[in-house]
Amino acid sequence: MTKEIATPSRTREIMDQHHLSFKKSLGQNFMLDGNILNKMVDATEVTAEDGVIEVGAGIGALTEKFAKRAKKVVAFEIDQRLLPVLTDTLAPYDNIDIRHQDILKADLRELCETTLKDTRHIVAAGNLPYYVTTPILMAFLEQKLPIESLTVMIQKEVSERLAAVPGTKSYGSLSIAAQYYAEAEEIMTVSATVFMPRPNVDSTIIRFRLRNQPAVHVDDERLFFDVIRASFAQRRKTLANNLRHWLGKKGAHTDLHEAFHLADIDGKRRAETLTLAEFAGLTDALSKKGF
Protein backbone atom coordinates (compact mmCIF):
# COMPACT_ATOMS: atom_id res chain seq x y z
CA MET A 1 0.00 0.00 0.00
CA THR A 2 1.34 3.45 -0.95
CA LYS A 3 2.17 5.66 2.02
CA GLU A 4 0.07 8.82 2.25
CA ILE A 5 1.85 11.91 0.94
CA ALA A 6 0.56 14.34 3.59
CA THR A 7 2.79 13.29 6.47
CA PRO A 8 6.01 14.93 7.74
CA SER A 9 8.15 11.85 7.03
CA ARG A 10 6.77 11.18 3.52
CA THR A 11 6.97 14.86 2.54
CA ARG A 12 10.59 15.07 3.70
CA GLU A 13 11.35 11.80 1.90
CA ILE A 14 9.93 13.18 -1.36
CA MET A 15 11.80 16.47 -0.94
CA ASP A 16 15.10 14.64 -0.35
CA GLN A 17 14.56 12.08 -3.12
CA HIS A 18 13.97 14.79 -5.73
CA HIS A 19 16.44 17.31 -4.23
CA LEU A 20 13.68 19.86 -3.82
CA SER A 21 13.70 23.18 -2.01
CA PHE A 22 10.70 25.40 -1.38
CA LYS A 23 10.16 28.29 -3.76
CA LYS A 24 9.24 31.30 -1.65
CA SER A 25 8.30 33.24 -4.79
CA LEU A 26 5.48 30.73 -5.44
CA GLY A 27 4.27 30.73 -1.84
CA GLN A 28 4.89 26.99 -1.46
CA ASN A 29 3.74 25.46 1.82
CA PHE A 30 3.03 21.73 1.78
CA MET A 31 0.33 20.22 4.00
CA LEU A 32 1.45 17.59 6.51
CA ASP A 33 -1.90 16.53 7.96
CA GLY A 34 -3.98 14.12 5.89
CA ASN A 35 -7.00 14.47 8.20
CA ILE A 36 -7.30 18.16 7.33
CA LEU A 37 -7.13 17.34 3.64
CA ASN A 38 -9.86 14.72 4.16
CA LYS A 39 -12.08 17.41 5.71
CA MET A 40 -11.36 19.69 2.77
CA VAL A 41 -12.35 16.97 0.30
CA ASP A 42 -15.45 16.22 2.41
CA ALA A 43 -16.45 19.88 2.10
CA THR A 44 -16.49 19.61 -1.71
CA GLU A 45 -19.00 16.71 -1.48
CA VAL A 46 -17.25 15.12 -4.47
CA THR A 47 -18.38 11.65 -5.59
CA ALA A 48 -17.12 8.94 -7.94
CA GLU A 49 -19.15 10.55 -10.75
CA ASP A 50 -17.63 14.01 -10.39
CA GLY A 51 -14.72 15.96 -11.83
CA VAL A 52 -12.21 18.12 -9.95
CA ILE A 53 -10.11 21.10 -10.99
CA GLU A 54 -7.22 21.52 -8.56
CA VAL A 55 -5.19 24.71 -8.32
CA GLY A 56 -1.57 24.03 -7.39
CA ALA A 57 -0.91 20.31 -7.11
CA GLY A 58 2.37 20.74 -5.22
CA ILE A 59 3.73 17.25 -4.52
CA GLY A 60 0.27 15.72 -4.86
CA ALA A 61 -1.05 15.51 -1.28
CA LEU A 62 -4.53 16.92 -2.04
CA THR A 63 -4.52 15.54 -5.59
CA GLU A 64 -4.13 12.04 -4.17
CA LYS A 65 -7.14 12.53 -1.88
CA PHE A 66 -9.34 13.63 -4.77
CA ALA A 67 -8.11 10.83 -7.03
CA LYS A 68 -9.43 8.31 -4.51
CA ARG A 69 -12.93 9.79 -4.59
CA ALA A 70 -13.54 11.51 -7.92
CA LYS A 71 -13.99 10.27 -11.47
CA LYS A 72 -11.34 12.60 -12.88
CA VAL A 73 -8.93 15.17 -11.48
CA VAL A 74 -7.30 17.90 -13.57
CA ALA A 75 -4.50 19.40 -11.47
CA PHE A 76 -2.62 22.55 -12.43
CA GLU A 77 0.96 23.08 -11.29
CA ILE A 78 3.06 26.07 -12.35
CA ASP A 79 6.40 24.87 -10.92
CA GLN A 80 8.11 22.76 -13.57
CA ARG A 81 10.37 21.14 -10.96
CA LEU A 82 7.35 19.39 -9.47
CA LEU A 83 6.21 17.63 -12.65
CA PRO A 84 8.50 14.59 -12.27
CA VAL A 85 7.62 14.52 -8.57
CA LEU A 86 3.92 14.30 -9.39
CA THR A 87 4.56 11.62 -11.99
CA ASP A 88 6.19 9.63 -9.20
CA THR A 89 3.87 10.32 -6.25
CA LEU A 90 0.66 9.94 -8.25
CA ALA A 91 1.75 6.92 -10.31
CA PRO A 92 -0.85 4.58 -8.69
CA TYR A 93 -3.75 6.65 -10.11
CA ASP A 94 -5.00 6.65 -13.69
CA ASN A 95 -7.67 9.35 -13.29
CA ILE A 96 -5.35 12.35 -12.92
CA ASP A 97 -4.46 14.86 -15.64
CA ILE A 98 -1.52 17.08 -14.63
CA ARG A 99 -1.31 20.42 -16.45
CA HIS A 100 1.88 22.48 -16.33
CA GLN A 101 0.16 25.83 -16.73
CA ASP A 102 -0.70 29.00 -14.87
CA ILE A 103 -4.34 28.56 -13.84
CA LEU A 104 -4.94 32.25 -14.66
CA LYS A 105 -4.02 31.59 -18.29
CA ALA A 106 -6.03 28.39 -18.66
CA ASP A 107 -9.28 28.17 -20.63
CA LEU A 108 -11.35 26.78 -17.78
CA ARG A 109 -14.60 26.83 -19.70
CA GLU A 110 -13.08 24.75 -22.49
CA LEU A 111 -11.69 22.37 -19.88
CA CYS A 112 -15.15 21.89 -18.35
CA GLU A 113 -16.73 21.34 -21.75
CA THR A 114 -14.17 18.82 -23.03
CA THR A 115 -11.94 17.02 -20.54
CA LEU A 116 -14.55 17.00 -17.78
CA LYS A 117 -17.67 16.79 -19.94
CA ASP A 118 -18.45 13.20 -18.91
CA THR A 119 -18.58 14.01 -15.20
CA ARG A 120 -21.79 14.68 -13.30
CA HIS A 121 -20.67 17.73 -11.33
CA ILE A 122 -17.43 19.73 -11.39
CA VAL A 123 -15.82 21.19 -8.29
CA ALA A 124 -12.67 23.26 -7.91
CA ALA A 125 -10.26 23.26 -4.99
CA GLY A 126 -6.74 24.12 -3.93
CA ASN A 127 -4.32 25.46 -1.36
CA LEU A 128 -3.86 28.99 -2.70
CA PRO A 129 -0.67 31.01 -2.22
CA TYR A 130 -1.29 34.42 -0.71
CA TYR A 131 0.08 36.48 -3.58
CA VAL A 132 -2.48 35.20 -6.11
CA THR A 133 -5.44 34.34 -3.87
CA THR A 134 -7.74 37.12 -5.06
CA PRO A 135 -6.99 36.85 -8.82
CA ILE A 136 -7.59 33.08 -8.74
CA LEU A 137 -10.82 33.37 -6.77
CA MET A 138 -12.19 36.05 -9.06
CA ALA A 139 -11.14 34.09 -12.16
CA PHE A 140 -13.37 31.22 -11.05
CA LEU A 141 -16.26 33.41 -9.89
CA GLU A 142 -16.42 36.02 -12.66
CA GLN A 143 -16.32 33.56 -15.55
CA LYS A 144 -19.54 31.92 -14.32
CA LEU A 145 -18.15 28.48 -15.04
CA PRO A 146 -20.28 25.31 -14.92
CA ILE A 147 -18.87 24.32 -11.53
CA GLU A 148 -20.77 23.57 -8.33
CA SER A 149 -18.33 24.91 -5.78
CA LEU A 150 -14.87 26.25 -5.08
CA THR A 151 -13.22 25.04 -1.86
CA VAL A 152 -9.88 26.62 -1.02
CA MET A 153 -7.35 26.91 1.76
CA ILE A 154 -6.26 30.52 2.15
CA GLN A 155 -4.82 32.85 4.74
CA LYS A 156 -7.24 33.34 7.62
CA GLU A 157 -7.30 37.12 7.23
CA VAL A 158 -8.39 36.88 3.59
CA SER A 159 -11.06 34.32 4.45
CA GLU A 160 -12.48 36.68 7.06
CA ARG A 161 -12.75 39.40 4.42
CA LEU A 162 -14.47 37.08 1.95
CA ALA A 163 -17.11 35.93 4.43
CA ALA A 164 -17.57 39.30 6.18
CA VAL A 165 -20.98 40.92 6.65
CA PRO A 166 -21.92 44.63 6.46
CA GLY A 167 -20.92 46.73 9.44
CA THR A 168 -17.76 44.79 10.22
CA LYS A 169 -14.14 45.87 9.82
CA SER A 170 -13.37 43.05 7.36
CA TYR A 171 -16.30 43.86 5.04
CA GLY A 172 -15.23 45.44 1.77
CA SER A 173 -15.27 45.25 -2.00
CA LEU A 174 -13.78 41.73 -1.95
CA SER A 175 -16.56 40.51 0.37
CA ILE A 176 -19.21 41.92 -1.95
CA ALA A 177 -17.64 40.53 -5.11
CA ALA A 178 -17.38 37.03 -3.66
CA GLN A 179 -20.87 37.04 -2.18
CA TYR A 180 -22.39 38.44 -5.36
CA TYR A 181 -21.35 35.31 -7.24
CA ALA A 182 -21.41 32.69 -4.48
CA GLU A 183 -22.42 31.73 -0.96
CA ALA A 184 -19.32 31.69 1.20
CA GLU A 185 -18.92 29.40 4.21
CA GLU A 186 -15.85 29.02 6.40
CA ILE A 187 -15.27 25.31 7.04
CA MET A 188 -12.39 25.28 9.52
CA THR A 189 -9.27 27.09 10.71
CA VAL A 190 -5.96 25.39 9.92
CA SER A 191 -2.96 25.97 12.17
CA ALA A 192 0.29 27.15 10.62
CA THR A 193 2.02 24.24 12.40
CA VAL A 194 0.72 21.64 9.90
CA PHE A 195 2.58 23.10 6.92
CA MET A 196 6.14 22.70 5.67
CA PRO A 197 7.66 25.24 5.72
CA ARG A 198 5.60 26.83 8.46
CA PRO A 199 3.89 30.06 7.31
CA ASN A 200 3.61 33.10 9.56
CA VAL A 201 -0.18 32.94 9.88
CA ASP A 202 -2.99 30.41 10.20
CA SER A 203 -5.17 29.44 7.25
CA THR A 204 -8.86 28.79 6.72
CA ILE A 205 -10.69 26.36 4.48
CA ILE A 206 -13.57 28.22 2.88
CA ARG A 207 -16.19 26.91 0.45
CA PHE A 208 -17.99 28.94 -2.18
CA ARG A 209 -21.19 27.47 -3.60
CA LEU A 210 -21.63 29.21 -6.92
CA ARG A 211 -25.00 30.83 -7.49
CA ASN A 212 -27.08 30.12 -10.59
CA GLN A 213 -27.92 33.82 -10.58
CA PRO A 214 -26.07 36.66 -8.81
CA ALA A 215 -27.24 37.51 -5.30
CA VAL A 216 -28.79 40.77 -6.53
CA HIS A 217 -29.93 42.02 -9.93
CA VAL A 218 -28.26 45.06 -11.47
CA ASP A 219 -28.83 46.56 -14.89
CA ASP A 220 -25.12 47.26 -15.40
CA GLU A 221 -22.76 44.80 -13.69
CA ARG A 222 -19.61 46.70 -14.64
CA LEU A 223 -20.99 49.93 -13.17
CA PHE A 224 -22.01 47.99 -10.03
CA PHE A 225 -18.42 46.97 -9.32
CA ASP A 226 -17.08 50.40 -10.29
CA VAL A 227 -19.43 52.00 -7.74
CA ILE A 228 -18.34 49.51 -5.06
CA ARG A 229 -14.63 50.10 -5.66
CA ALA A 230 -15.15 53.87 -5.63
CA SER A 231 -17.24 53.69 -2.45
CA PHE A 232 -14.47 51.86 -0.58
CA ALA A 233 -11.65 53.98 -2.02
CA GLN A 234 -11.13 55.65 1.36
CA ARG A 235 -12.92 53.68 4.06
CA ARG A 236 -13.11 56.55 6.55
CA LYS A 237 -14.85 58.84 4.10
CA THR A 238 -18.58 58.91 3.51
CA LEU A 239 -20.24 57.45 0.45
CA ALA A 240 -20.98 60.95 -0.80
CA ASN A 241 -17.35 62.08 -0.53
CA ASN A 242 -15.93 58.97 -2.18
CA LEU A 243 -18.45 58.94 -5.03
CA ARG A 244 -18.25 62.70 -5.59
CA HIS A 245 -14.48 62.38 -6.00
CA TRP A 246 -14.86 59.40 -8.35
CA LEU A 247 -17.52 61.08 -10.49
CA GLY A 248 -15.45 64.25 -10.68
CA LYS A 249 -12.42 62.34 -11.94
CA LYS A 250 -14.58 60.79 -14.66
CA GLY A 251 -15.98 64.18 -15.65
CA ALA A 252 -19.52 63.02 -14.81
CA HIS A 253 -22.24 65.51 -13.85
CA THR A 254 -24.67 63.06 -12.28
CA ASP A 255 -26.83 64.57 -9.52
CA LEU A 256 -25.47 62.47 -6.66
CA HIS A 257 -27.96 63.85 -4.12
CA GLU A 258 -30.86 62.80 -6.33
CA ALA A 259 -29.34 59.36 -6.85
CA PHE A 260 -29.07 58.86 -3.07
CA HIS A 261 -32.68 59.96 -2.68
CA LEU A 262 -33.82 57.62 -5.44
CA ALA A 263 -32.00 54.70 -3.80
CA ASP A 264 -33.22 55.71 -0.31
CA ILE A 265 -29.65 55.80 1.01
CA ASP A 266 -28.08 58.42 3.27
CA GLY A 267 -24.94 59.72 1.57
CA LYS A 268 -23.38 60.30 5.00
CA ARG A 269 -23.10 56.56 5.55
CA ARG A 270 -19.85 54.71 4.97
CA ALA A 271 -19.54 52.01 2.35
CA GLU A 272 -18.98 49.25 4.92
CA THR A 273 -22.57 49.66 6.18
CA LEU A 274 -24.27 48.97 2.83
CA THR A 275 -25.66 45.58 1.85
CA LEU A 276 -25.34 44.09 -1.63
CA ALA A 277 -28.96 45.05 -2.29
CA GLU A 278 -28.29 48.68 -1.32
CA PHE A 279 -25.26 48.87 -3.60
CA ALA A 280 -27.39 47.43 -6.40
CA GLY A 281 -30.07 50.06 -5.76
CA LEU A 282 -27.50 52.85 -5.71
CA THR A 283 -25.95 51.62 -8.96
CA ASP A 284 -29.32 51.55 -10.72
CA ALA A 285 -30.13 55.02 -9.35
CA LEU A 286 -26.85 56.43 -10.71
CA SER A 287 -27.61 54.82 -14.04
CA LYS A 288 -31.09 56.40 -14.12
CA LYS A 289 -29.62 59.81 -13.27
CA GLY A 290 -27.54 59.69 -16.43
CA PHE A 291 -24.29 58.07 -15.41
* Buried residues in 251-290 as b, exposed as e (16+ CB within 10 A): eeebebeebbebbebebeebbbebbbebbbbbbbbbbebe
* Phi/psi at 25 (5° precision): -65, -25
- Rounded to whole angstroms, the Cα distance separating 134 from 128 reads 9
Is residue 29 part of an annotated ligand binding site?
yes
| Closest CA relative to residue 119, chosen from 50, 47, 172, 63 | 50
Could you tell me which of 155, 135, 157, 139 has the C-alpha nearest to residue 147?
Answer: 139
Residue 16 annotated as binding site: no
Q: For residues 267, 271, 276 and 280, what is the CA-based torsion angle, rounded to 10 degrees?
A: 40
Q: Which residues 6+ apart lie within 8 Å of 129 measured at CB?
A: 26, 27, 28, 29, 56
What CA–CA distance (Å, rounded) separates 227 from 207?
27
56 annotated binding-site participant: yes
Q: How many CB atoms lie within 10 A of CB 228?
A: 23
- Residue 202 annotated as binding site: no
Please check if 200 is assigned to a binding site. no
- Does the annotation list 77 as a binding residue? yes
- Extract the annotated binding site for S-adenosyl-L-methionine: 29, 31, 56, 77, 102, 127
- Extract the annotated binding site: 29, 31, 56, 77, 102, 127
